Structure 1
Amino acid sequence: MTISDANTQKVERRIRYYLKQNTPFITPDNAKLIGDFKKEKPSAYYYDLKQYLYYFSSDLKFNHRFGDETYLEDYPYIVKARPIEGDNKHAILMNLDKHRHFQFVDDPYSFRQKKDMLVWRGAAYQEHRREFMKAFHDHPRCEIGQTNKPAEDVVWQKEKLTIDEQLQYKFILSIEGNDVATSLKWSMSSNSLCFMVKPKFETWFMEGTLVSGVHYVELKEDYSDLDEKMDYYLAHPEQAEMIIKNAHQFIAQFQNPKVEDAISILLLQRYFELSGQL
């Protein structure tokens, strides 16, 4: 496939990032034929993968796992997310559930126009999210709350905020859930400053390549430096705006649909070549 509107080296770099396996392998007995790949849940994952398997012969075999699980197998398989640390070469990243995760915004507010506060909304089913809620729900500079269903009888259970409502705050918190934070992409495309603990999981967005202090503001695991970081960037808005600019430049590499399609197809082609099927 010819990629006329993208730098070939950048495309190759991304393919090698998503598919770190670089030696031939044999697909195990539980591999699935493309021709036998029927609709399965979650359906968004199915359609996102089927879209690119369409370009290959129905007698080719592949292994995959849908959902938020991030444990590693002992053979190459296709997933949405994987751990950043450790030997993750068997987990091959595809852009799955992309319409939920890959949302970008056109922010109408400049950083300096926004409220001097931090915002977060989301489900808090994981213990690390619950601990954050307990510790900071009454913080005077935090507009945070969980939107669990069914609603829980806790003071930090709140109504949802739209993305536009969240864009009115200078600082947007990103907290990983079972894997990555769904809000990370749109918050980094905004004119707000993204705050988060160093990410532990990565997807098609290549979270493992994000650099603290360049693309986002890194917080301690217990968020004990939250006030310190807010104070610093309120006092140095020009530095906040530079990080926001860098985040926009990072986002830009994912915003050409033709290039995204080409990378997905070339990645699968390499998978089938390495498995000796092409």
Structure 2
Amino acid sequence: MLCGKMAFIRGKLEPIAERLVFYGKGAVCDIAPRTPFYAYRERLFARLGEAASEQPEIFKRVNLCNQLSAATAANPECSLRRISRRSSRYFYDLNEYLKYFPAHLRVDYLFGDITHVPGHASLVKSRPISRENVNSVLLNLDKLRHFKLTSDRRAWNDKAGRAVWRGGIHNRLRTALVRRHAGNPAADVGHIGEPFEGIAPKSFMTREEQMAYRYIISVEGNDVATNLKWIMASGSVCLMTRPRFETWFLESRLVPDLHYVELADDFSDLDEKIDALEADPDRALRIVANANAYVRHMADRKLERIVSLLVLQKYFEATAQLPPSTFSPLFFGES
């Protein structure tokens, strides 16, 4: 009983502490002078430039997040000093990397859950997965919500051989899941909030409680599924429909049956997919290992800073605000 109460208290206090640290660091960065950041960027780029051609994976990621060409017709409107602080989580995440660049430079940006492609080259958190999304330049925004991972210490054999999902109902996919699988003995599927078409809501479940199941369902919300990253970092298999949107996580690079198990849009094959995985635990564990490896390469803070700064360097070069650099051939190809 005491352990349960302590876990409950810790679960309430940890997010508060994380927010305090995040906002504190963001505020300090905001008021700090730019000069030390400039110097760091110059040193970093000088070291990287010596071996840039030997880092193909870094530049592959940069060019996936930022697909602008060298002849981008853009005239960004907002100077770096005038970016809105109203959405403070987004502002602090963006400012963390813009601080390394001169304040006279300009950007276009959109904060929030972006599901359309802007008319101008803009910095965004999310974009549609499409060949027409060139103007959407991805950065790791709102990472306090989207990139908070949770340790999973449960062994596979200690997890229940069922699937689980909790969430609000506010789109077609989530509605389809609840309609078809509320009450399914093979899956603890439940929505949070008000009764829906005679189906009673279920209680909230923590990440730790959901990780007691071998299979966790991920369903896109306003844009991407917030739970996707921590599911793929856990010891459970991610079950989801093919993603329609992507973020810094580059959901478009995820491969069915390698990183996750794909479900039909109407979730009609959920039981079938669970049965197949239960019959072949080695396959399930391979998928978990591949998912963990995908997440792990984004957990290196130094590497994430390098990729973020290169995405912005390419943005400023593409919009003709900075001159060509050592990296230009890797950004845009040889001229």
Q: TM-score when scaled to structure 2?
A: 0.78
Match of 2:148 among 70, 80, 103: 103
Partner of 2:158: 113
1:38 Cα deviation from its structure 2 partner: 3.6
| Letter aligned with residue 66 of structure 2 | L
Match of 1:59 among 97, 101, 104: 104
- The answer (yes or no) to whether the contact 1:145–1:157 under 8 Å persists in 2 is yes
Summarize the alignment of residues 53-202 of structure 1 with structure 2, pairs less than 5 Å apart.
53-148=98-193, 151-152=194-195, 154-202=198-246
1:69 Cα deviation from its structure 2 partner: 2.4
- The answer (yes or no) to whether the contact 2:215–2:237 under 8 Å persists in 1 is yes
Partner of 2:274: 230
| Letter aligned with residue 210 of structure 2 | Q
| Letter aligned with residue 67 of structure 1 | G
Runs of 4 or more above 4 Å deviation: none
- The answer (yes or no) to whether the contact 2:214–2:236 under 8 Å persists in 1 is yes
Question: Which range moved further: 76-85 or 31-40?
Answer: 31-40
- The answer (yes or no) to whether the contact 2:70–2:317 under 8 Å persists in 1 is no
List gaps (5 residues or longer) in structure 1.
none
Partner of 2:82: 36
Match of 2:74 among 27, 46, 51: 27
Partner of 2:65: 18
Partner of 2:303: 259
Which whole-Å CA distance do the structure 1 matches of 2:269 and 2:200 have between them?
21
| Letter aligned with residue 27 of structure 1 | A
What's the secondary structure of 1:92's corresponding residue?
A: strand
Greater RCO structure (CA 8 Å; 6+ sep): 1
Partner of 1:244: 288
Structure 1 pair 190–55 and aligned structure 2 pair: CA distance change class (3 A): same
1:92 Cα deviation from its structure 2 partner: 0.4
Which whole-Å CA distance do the structure 2 matches of 1:33 and 1:204 have between them?
23
1:152 Cα deviation from its structure 2 partner: 4.0
Question: Which range moved further: 179-188 or 96-105?
Answer: 96-105
1:104 Cα deviation from its structure 2 partner: 2.0
Question: Over residues 207-253 of structure 1, what are the superposed CA-to-partner deviations in whole Å (9 max), with x where a residue is unaligned?
Answer: 00000010000011111111111000101000000111111111111
What's the secondary structure of 2:305's corresponding residue?
A: helix
Rg larger for: 2
Note if 1:45 corresponds to 2:45. Answer: no
Question: Over residues 65-94 of structure 1, what are the superposed CA-to-partner deviations in whole Å (9 max), with x where a residue is unaligned?
Answer: 111121112321111111112311110000
Partner of 2:319: 275
Q: CA RMSD in A?
A: 1.9
Structure 1 pair 226–217 and aligned structure 2 pair: CA distance change class (3 A): same
Which whole-Å CA distance do the structure 2 matches of 1:142 and 1:233 have between them?
14
What's the secondary structure of 2:56's corresponding residue?
A: helix
Q: TM-score when scaled to structure 1?
A: 0.93
Which whole-Å CA distance do the structure 2 matches of 1:139 and 1:72 have between them?
38
Structure 1 pair 108–254 and aligned structure 2 pair: CA distance change class (3 A): same
Question: Which range moved further: 195-204 or 85-94?
Answer: 85-94
What's the secondary structure of 1:170's corresponding residue?
A: strand
Which whole-Å CA distance do the structure 2 matches of 1:215 and 1:53 have between them?
32
What's the secondary structure of 1:190's corresponding residue?
A: coil
Structure 1 pair 247–273 and aligned structure 2 pair: CA distance change class (3 A): same
Which whole-Å CA distance do the structure 2 matches of 1:175 and 1:275 have between them?
36
